[in-house]
Chains A and B, each alone.
Chain A
Amino acid sequence: MRTLKFLLRKEFLQIFRDKLILRMIFALPVIQLIILPYAATYEIKNITLSVVDNDHSEYSRKLINNLTASGYFQLVDYSKTYADALDQVEKDKADLIVEIPEGFERDLIGEDETKVLIAANAISGQTAGLAVAYANSIIKDFNNDVRTEWNQQPRLNAIPAIDITSSNWFNVQMDYKYFIVPGILALLVTLVGFLMSSLNIVKEKEVGTIEQLNVSPIKKYQFILSKLIPFWVLGLFVLTIGFLISFIVYGIYPAGSFWVGYIFAGIYLIALLGFGLLTSIYADTQQQAMFIAYFFMLIFILLGGLFSPIENMPDWAQYLTYINPVRYLIEAMRMIVLKGSGFWDLRFHFLIVIGFAIVFNGLAIRNYKKTV
């Protein structure tokens, strides 16, 4: 026990000695947690709109008015022809074109049918889909207005209608920040823990101090523990600061229990740090360790469900996410913070990260022997 105490003292001293690194470990996550969630919004407000009005009638003007009054669209251009409008899209000046045909009002009233063209810059499919959907629903509303205006009898009500009501649970205001903040927090804790631990042993290798440790009577588990504990403390510290910022900046207070969150993150960190140590044991130089860390980090993040839901991935990718520890932390954080899920709801998550912790650390302890 005394040996471990001395080893830990040494590790902590080493971390605290480098003021720049210490500052970065705290400042970078804090700044990002404060700034970045504001960038994550799919809510669409300023879709730039180019209108081609070939009708110049009362109705066409009214429709354009409805579009611009909705708040989603910003009318930036009136083009004479569709080709001119297309040019605006090409120049990135407009995202959406609405073309009203000649005889729009006449056909609508006289022929009972007319057509409006909506064209969207679809390089970003999601934005285009939403923009078109908004435009469509505004046109539908306009259409209904026209119908009520021309229909004396309420004959529309004679048609059977399914009344769909929808409600949104756990995030009633539909605020994307509530969703993204716990996810980013999970990611930042992961980055700090993983990057620091993956570089640690390899640094001693590169500088040559590891040989001194190897010839000393230090036990293997003591060595691994002395490498694990400081970063574990660091990770939980970053988590605490993150919780504080979530509360102060975003007013997010976990619906579930803090304890469940901390215990889960604690076990998760043991698993993650084990993986970092394993990377460190395998790599020969810090440079190599960094590239390997980068490789795994990116894949973990991409397949972690931070931005894109895992259910939407093809089967093979979903299987891959099962062996991605980051996925479980992101999921657990969101469940605890937003839904108030407890131990029982998270039992499988717990079992899996415990499994990860055993496997990674077991491998780390076993493989470390070889380098002695």
Chain B
Amino acid sequence: MEQLITFIQKEFHHILRDTRSMLVLIGLPIVQLLIFGFAITTEVRNANIAILDNSKDEVTQSIITKIESSQYFDIDRSITSNDQIEEAFKSGKIKLAIVFQQNFQNELSHSNKAQLQIIADATDPNQATTLTNYLSSIVRDYQNELNRQNKLPYTINTEMRMLYNPQLRGAYTSVPGVMGMILLLISAMMTSIAIVREKELGTMEILLVSPMQPWLVVISKVIPYFIISLINVATILILSVFVLGLPIEGSLFLLTASTIIYIFCALSLGILISTITETQQAAMLISLLGLMLPVVMLSGYAFPIANMPTILQILSNLVPAKWYIIIVKNVMIKGIGIEQIWKELLILLAMTGTFLIISIKRFKIRL
């Protein structure tokens, strides 16, 4: 036991001495969470659009004023003819163009129908749809104002309720996602590289012939990173509550306990990576090039899993972050107890066990 503590102390010294890495390990979650919390939104803001007003009458002017005052759009005034639209799209100057037909006001008042065309840059289909919808609804609002005097019969009104997140704040999705991603990547990367490093430098053999049992050597290397992960969790939670204004509706104890299980899972994934690689370079390629994108895209954080093709839905089950994100959403935001998340917890535990068993097997072969 005393030996183990001395070993852990030694590992701690190693890590603490490297201030640059420490800064990255502790600072990264903070920077990332702030960027996610504030910069990454699905809300439309400042979209550059061009308006080609072929009519220039009172109605088109007031519609343009309405668009301008909505704050979603910045109007680019350099476009004066149809031919310039494609040019503007190609140079990336605008995302959307609106074309009013000639005699807009006249048509509207005399034939009751005036044409307005919206052309969107659909390179990003999602963005194109959102912008088109926003614009249409601004125009429709304007039209409703015009028609206020005519109340329609047989009307179904809808009342909308946004549960758990009435203001539709992006942080409610991003915080659980960031927690899932960052804890997995940092923890897996830290352990995988720390162990492979010893292998590459040849010091692992020295450790293994020491009177300590091999698994104790590994544990002593993992514990400091476990503590760093805990510090990360604490900073993430404090920031989400006090800076991003997220609630912790459920039990903090349950959240912490689940998080510890998840960290174990990520650390054991790191150990697994270190047993299948020989160089730090290889370990890094697997944990960054191999894990980063799949974790972001298949964990249900960037894109909803329910919309994916069946094969990818099945594949997503292999991503530990998927299960952890479900847990965080349920406990932190919905405030549900263990009765709703025990399945996810068991899956994480099973994954941890599997990673460890494979690692031990491979580890023995190597000795």
Given A142-B156, A283-B20, A287-B193: A91 and B340 interface contact (C-beta under 8 Å)? yes
Seen from chain A, the residues whose Cβ lies within 8 Å of a Cβ on chain B are: 18, 20-21, 24-25, 28-29, 32, 35-36, 38-48, 86, 89-92, 108-109, 112-129, 132-133, 135-136, 139-140, 142-143, 146-147, 150-151, 156-172, 174-176, 178-179, 184, 187-188, 191-192, 195-196, 199, 203, 206, 283-288, 290-295, 297-299, 301-303, 307-309, 311-314, 316-317, 320, 331, 334-335, 338-342, 345
On chain A, the residues within 8 Å of B129 by CB distance are 174
**Shortest distance in angstroms between B115's beta carbon and chain A's nearest beta carbon?**
5
Query: Would you call B307 and A43 a contact (CB within 8 A)?
Result: yes
Given A168-B125, A294-B288: A125 and B172 interface contact (C-beta under 8 Å)? yes
On chain A, the residues within 8 Å of B334 by CB distance are 90, 123
**Shortest distance in angstroms between B57's beta carbon and chain A's nearest beta carbon?**
13
Query: Would you call B89 and A339 a contact (CB within 8 A)?
Result: yes
Given A128-B168, A312-B46, A345-B90: A139 and B156 interface contact (C-beta under 8 Å)? yes
How far apart are the CA atoms of A293 and B173 in the complex, in Å?
26
Query: Would you call B155 and A113 a contact (CB within 8 A)?
Result: yes
Query: Would you call B136 and A122 a contact (CB within 8 A)?
Result: no
On chain A, the residues within 8 Å of B286 by CB distance are 24, 28
On chain A, the residues within 8 Å of B150 by CB distance are 159
Query: Would you call A123 and B333 a contact (CB within 8 A)?
Result: yes
The reply to whether the CB of B245 lies closer than 8 angstroms to some CB of chain A is no
Query: Would you call B172 and A161 a contact (CB within 8 A)?
Result: no
Q: In the complex, which of the residues A136, A199, A308, A340 contacts B280, with contact meaning CB atoms closer than 8 Å? A: A199
- Mark each residue of chain B from 96 to 124: 1 if its CB lies under 8 Å from any CB of chain A, else 0: 00000000000011001111111111111
Query: Would you call B280 and A287 a contact (CB within 8 A)?
Result: yes
The reply to whether the CB of B292 lies closer than 8 angstroms to some CB of chain A is yes
Query: Would you call B18 and A313 a contact (CB within 8 A)?
Result: no
Count of chain B residues near A, Cβ 8 A: 119
Query: Would you call B303 and A40 a contact (CB within 8 A)?
Result: yes
The reply to whether the CB of B162 lies closer than 8 angstroms to some CB of chain A is yes
**Shortest distance in angstroms between A277's beta carbon and chain B's nearest beta carbon?**
15
- Mark each residue of chain B from 163 to 177: 1 if its CB lies under 8 Å from any CB of chain A, else 0: 111101110110000
11 pairs from A and B in contact (CB 8 Å cutoff): A38-B312, A45-B307, A115-B156, A124-B304, A143-B154, A160-B108, A161-B143, A166-B132, A176-B125, A290-B280, A291-B25
Query: Would you call B147 and A36 a contact (CB within 8 A)?
Result: no
**Shortest distance in angstroms between B343's beta carbon and chain A's nearest beta carbon?**
11
Given A303-B39, A307-B302: A286 and B280 interface contact (C-beta under 8 Å)? yes
Nearest A residue to B86, CB-CB: A169
How far apart are the CA atoms of A37 and B280 in the complex, in Å?
29
Nearest B residue to A344, CB-CB: B91
The reply to whether the CB of B218 lies closer than 8 angstroms to some CB of chain A is no
Query: Would you call B162 and A128 a contact (CB within 8 A)?
Result: yes
**Shortest distance in angstroms between A317's beta carbon and chain B's nearest beta carbon?**
4
Q: In the complex, which of the residues B20, B115, B169, B333 contacts A165, with contact meaning CB atoms closer than 8 Å? A: B115
The reply to whether the CB of B261 lies closer than 8 angstroms to some CB of chain A is no
On chain B, the residues within 8 Å of A345 by CB distance are 90-92
How far apart are the CA atoms of A345 and B38 in the complex, in Å?
31
On chain B, the residues within 8 Å of A199 by CB distance are 280-281, 284
The reply to whether the CB of B128 lies closer than 8 angstroms to some CB of chain A is yes
**Shortest distance in angstroms between B64's beta carbon and chain A's nearest beta carbon?**
13
Query: Would you call A298 and B90 a contact (CB within 8 A)?
Result: no
Query: Would you call A146 and B164 a contact (CB within 8 A)?
Result: no
Query: Would you call B143 and A41 a contact (CB within 8 A)?
Result: no
Given A170-B89, A341-B92: A46 and B122 interface contact (C-beta under 8 Å)? no
On chain B, the residues within 8 Å of A150 by CB distance are 153-154
Q: In the complex, which of the residues B108, B155, B162, B185 contacts A143, with contact meaning CB atoms closer than 8 Å? A: B155
Known: A164-B117, A166-B120, A345-B91. 12 other contacts (CB 8 A): A21-B279, A38-B309, A42-B303, A86-B163, A143-B154, A178-B123, A179-B126, A290-B189, A295-B31, A303-B35, A311-B45, A341-B91
Query: Would you call B280 and A125 a contact (CB within 8 A)?
Result: no
How far apart are the CA atoms of A282 and B162 in the complex, in Å?
49
Query: Would you call A118 and B159 a contact (CB within 8 A)?
Result: yes
